[in-house]
Chain A
């Protein structure tokens, strides 16, 4: 390489204002932002390990604990800790007790479902519930701190928990749709019934656990 190969005559000239040039094509339309949120990373559906799912479940429990703390603001003190522990218990009970039972049922029905896939669906559902509960925690805090009557606190608290449960159930069902699609015709009905039964059981179990673990929602004062 020498100066001759890089003489001014060989180098492309710098364009001055080129009015004759056609306008460049506009960039292709984007429907979603290029940047993504931290929460979306928590809800990622790419392949993962058992450690990843356990971590996701732990984060979901932590987010739910924030909601529990907001419930405990009404009475303060040790109630804050009760709320922080009690709120995630419902979700963890479903994850630790109900989901494995479903796994066994689906295995008995010979459903084409990997245990890790079930764990992923469970932890994603828990994560969505946790994100929602953490999001409504400030609004819940406003209610529990400003209302005089306990019934409103109960309605608001259980309302948020039930909404989170519905969203989690919807997410769980959606994540298992590919499994249902792969299941042969006769088995599909069995698998579908099993999933519905699981959701009903999980909902009842969660509400029961919350009823016991969140006394601030059940004490009428």
Chain B
């Protein structure tokens, strides 16, 4: 049953989104989506952690699902609230299942990209390249997820506002949670031991964005692991 749902997620996202909205099998979709999100993120995390190797593989395989599912859990109330105020009086189950379906689509793209990522890492891709590739894969996966989300919101007014606000909330929340739980690829300095979390706090994501913007104007040496 889960494999069938995942296949439908990829081939006919509009139908899955409609089913979620009508609460037709929403619980089945939610269950399959959560499993897909956990597995997809774990596999991609393990691959990304393989750049550093050693315990980093396990740490990243554990942390990426935490980030994915944690972000969805934190943003679920926000998505529900945004949908309500912009004219989507849908029950919580419908809203959460649409969000989870989108998250599952994202994770399936990560799953598809994982072997490619592993190959590049095994061929000796550098730390900056792995960072950029991981960001690119997440970007593409995000577009796939967004396609389902947009279809799920229907054609009524307010769709653009819902998507814009929710994407902002989701990216900020996911970014901050990912920042807190870093590193994933590992420390660029391979002489340092693998750590579950980085000791440096260095503010938060938003602060670092300000710092990065400042460094673009006045370049300084890059710092901080990812």
Contacts and interface: CB of A to CB of B under 8 A. Distances in A.
Interface of A: 30-37, 39-40, 43, 128, 131-132, 134-139, 142-143, 146-149, 151-152, 155-156, 163, 167, 171
Q: Is the interface of A mostly helix, strand, loop or mixed?
A: helix
A52 to B, nearest CB: 18
B94 A132 contact: no
Interface in B168-226: 169, 172-173, 176-177, 179-180, 201-204, 206-207
B5 to A, nearest CB: 19
A143 B176 contact: yes
B172 A33 contact: no
B221 to A, nearest CB: 21
B89 A36 contact: yes
A148 B91 contact: no
Contact of B204 (A31, A33, A35, A146): A146
Interface residues of B, number: 36
A152 B82 contact: no
Contact of B82 (A30, A32, A36, A135): A135
Interface in B42-93: 73-75, 77-82, 84-85, 89-92
Contacts of A143: 172, 176, 204, 206
11 contacts: A31-B154, A32-B90, A33-B91, A37-B89, A37-B95, A128-B84, A135-B82, A146-B176, A146-B180, A148-B203, A152-B203
Contacts of A137: 77
B21 interface: yes
Nearest to B173: A139
Contact of B81 (A32, A135, A149, A152): A135
B203 A33 contact: no
Given A37-B89, A139-B75, A146-B180, A132 B203 contact: no
B31 to A, nearest CB: 20
A39 B207 contact: no
B15 interface: no
A135 B22 CA distance: 22
Given A33-B21, A134-B77, A148-B207, 7 more contacts: A37-B91, A43-B84, A132-B81, A132-B85, A135-B82, A146-B180, A152-B204
Nearest to B210: A151
A151 B207 contact: yes
Contacts of B82: 132, 135
A132 B80 CA distance: 9
A135 B75 CA distance: 8
Contacts of A128: 84-85
